[in-house]
Chains A and B, each alone.
Chain A
Amino acid sequence: MNETAAQIIIGVGLAFDLFGCIGLVRLPDVYNRVQAATKCVTLGTCFILLGTAVYGMSAAMGIKAMLCAVFILLTSPVAAHAIARGAYKSGVRLWEGSVVDLYGEEKHPSRPPDERTEPAQAGETLGAGRESG
């Protein structure tokens, strides 16, 4: 019974992992890739860890698996946010099909949309004091 439940949970996790990595290959720019891959792979790996705990090989293994799931749930969104922010600040442009860029509009309201990912120039007026954010 435990084995069947663990197989089902791990199978769901594997499907999420695989779909996340397919999204990593298929999607058009880095911002799409980071959102698809991070969310799917975080949930998928947490399901695999949960399945390891449900399988119940030993109590220590289950506790470590749940601890690792908590770590991944805490660290993976932070890492994805840092990568996306670093990508924007290093000048990676959005895909041409993107419809909105709220971060750029807030940060560089005076620029045309194509130039918002460029680094800030000296003396330029920045939006609403959010430069240090």
Chain B
Amino acid sequence: MTTFLLIAAAVLLLAAFLCLYRIGQGPTAPDRTVAIDILGTLVVGFCCIMALWTGQGFYMNIAIAWALLSFIGTIALAKYLEGRYYDE
């Protein structure tokens, strides 16, 4: 199982680096916002891998908190992108 978790962590890191490429290269601000949202979801998966690796249950608490905070941050960024109608 440890070898499998090592491979899983490597695949998730590769996916995270693809997201970082899009954050750096994305021609517009919404591209970067999408990549940040996806990166937050990937971190939730990485917390699961860490929980299985170490056997510590508190990583799942981190995953839940990260999912909710990532959602709030993405909504805030999306409202910022609209930029004109603060009362909608």
- Point out residues on A near B: beta carbons under 8 Å: 3, 6-7, 10-11, 13-14, 17-18, 20-22, 24-25, 30, 33-34, 37-38, 41-42, 44-45, 48-49, 51-52, 55, 57-58, 60-61, 64-65, 67-68, 71-72, 75-76, 78-80, 82-87, 89-90, 92, 119, 132
Contact = CB atoms under 8 A, between A and B. Distances in A.
Chain A contact residues: helix, strand, loop or mixed: helix
Contact of A82 (B19, B63, B79): B79
Given A64-B57, A79-B37, A87 B75 contact: no
Nearest to B55: A57
B4 interface: yes
B1 to A, nearest CB: 6
Size category of the binding interface on chain B: 35 or more
A23 to B, nearest CB: 9
A75 B30 contact: no
Chain B contact residues: helix, strand, loop or mixed: helix
A83 B32 CA distance: 10
Contact of A68 (B18, B29, B64, B79): B64
Contacts of A90: 29-30, 81-83
Contact of A71 (B37, B45, B64, B74): B64
5 contacts: A38-B37, A64-B64, A82-B78, A83-B37, A90-B82
A17 B45 contact: yes
Nearest to B16: A21
A33 B21 CA distance: 13
Contact of B49 (A48, A61, A89): A48
A86 to B, nearest CB: 3
A37 B38 contact: yes
Given A24-B22, A30-B31, A48-B48, A14 B37 contact: no
Give the 10 A-B CB pairs with smallest separation, nearest first: A86-B81, A87-B30, A82-B78, A64-B60, A75-B71, A21-B18, A21-B15, A86-B78, A79-B74, A48-B45
